[in-house]
Chains A and B, each alone.
Chain A
Amino acid sequence: QVQLQESGPGLVKPSQTLSLTCTVSGGSISSGRYYWSWIRQPAGKGLEWIGRIYTSGRTNYNPSLKSRVTISVDTSKNQFSLKLSSVTAADTAVYYCAREIEVEPAANYYYFYMDVWGKGTTVTDSS
């Protein structure tokens, strides 16, 4: 079965760029109708959707972060990545990568949900 694993530095200096990678194992990142997503969760708080990428390269970002976020995919490595620039203390969180499945049970009717998640990685600003 498909598994996801986040990797990257756990400490980021303020104003610098957070870079995380999600490695997909047990299946090809290019197959199926899937989006590849990033979600974060500050300690003791709720979930915030950051954005997603389709294997075509098409991206969607949360407008609250859009000016600072870049999500990319490397199909040769079966990985996708998150870059978040100009980090502040407010970006300290557990970052999850997830696979979002697109289901079309009827013409022009879609379900989307995140069916596979990584274990999460904690990123802290070093201030």
Chain B
Amino acid sequence: DIQMTQSPSSLSASVGDRVTISCQASQDISNYLNWYQQKPGKAPKVLIYAASDLETGVPSRFSGSGSGTDFTFTISSLQPEDIATYYCQQYDNLPYTFGQGTKLEIK
């Protein structure tokens, strides 16, 4: 299985801050990577697919980049409603695997 490692595991930032989360794959996955947001008690929601494509309806402050083994997810200006746990997920190989998650909190 492809292992996905996210960092940091948790993050505290202020409203308006730029926030960056990293995701590293255990092998080359090209750009076959998605990012999901999960708010407490809710199902995950896709924000970014194919490493950098923004899902329809998702605010433009969210972005993704990277290819190969190293990927980055960025929130350009953190909003209070962005409090959630974020997961990366690879779809290069089955079984699909997720990172362990990054819990984002407001300072």
Query: In the docked arrangement, what's the CA distance between A71 and B94, Å?
Result: 16
Asked if B98 is at the interface (CB within 8 A of a chain A CB), the reply is: yes
Query: In the docked arrangement, what's the CA distance between A9 and B36, Å?
Result: 28
Chain A interface bracket (under 10, 10 to 19, 20 to 34, 35 or more): 20 to 34
| A46-B87, A111-B50, A111-B53 known; A96+B43 contact, CB < 8 A | yes
Query: In the docked arrangement, what's the CA distance between A118 and B45, Å?
Result: 10
Chain A's interface: helix, strand, loop or mixed, by majority? strand
Count residues of chain B with CB under 8 A from any CB of chain A. 24
What residue of chain B has the Cβ atom nearest to residue A60's Cβ? Answer: B94
Query: In the docked arrangement, what's the CA distance between A115 and B58, Å?
Result: 12
Chain B's interface: helix, strand, loop or mixed, by majority? loop
What residue of chain A has the Cβ atom nearest to residue B44's Cβ? Answer: A117
Residue pairs across A and B with CB atoms within 8 Å: the count is: 53
Asked if B95 is at the interface (CB within 8 A of a chain A CB), the reply is: yes
B1-42 interface code vs A (CB 8 A; 1 in, 0 out): 100000000000000000000000000000010101000001
Chain A residues whose C-beta falls within 8 Å of the C-beta of B42 in the assembled complex: 119
Q: Which of B86-107 contact A (CB under 8 A)?
A: 87, 89, 91, 94-101
Chain A residues whose C-beta falls within 8 Å of the C-beta of B43 in the assembled complex: 96, 98, 117-120
* Contact among B34, B50, B95, B96 for A64, CB-based, below 8 A: B95
Verify A46–B44 contact, CB threshold 8 A: no
Chain B residues whose C-beta falls within 8 Å of the C-beta of A60 in the assembled complex: 94-95
Chain A residues whose C-beta falls within 8 Å of the C-beta of B50 in the assembled complex: 111, 113
| A46-B100, A47-B87 known; A63+B46 contact, CB < 8 A | no
Query: In the docked arrangement, what's the CA distance between A127 and B42, Å?
Result: 26
A123 to chain B, nearest CB (A): 15
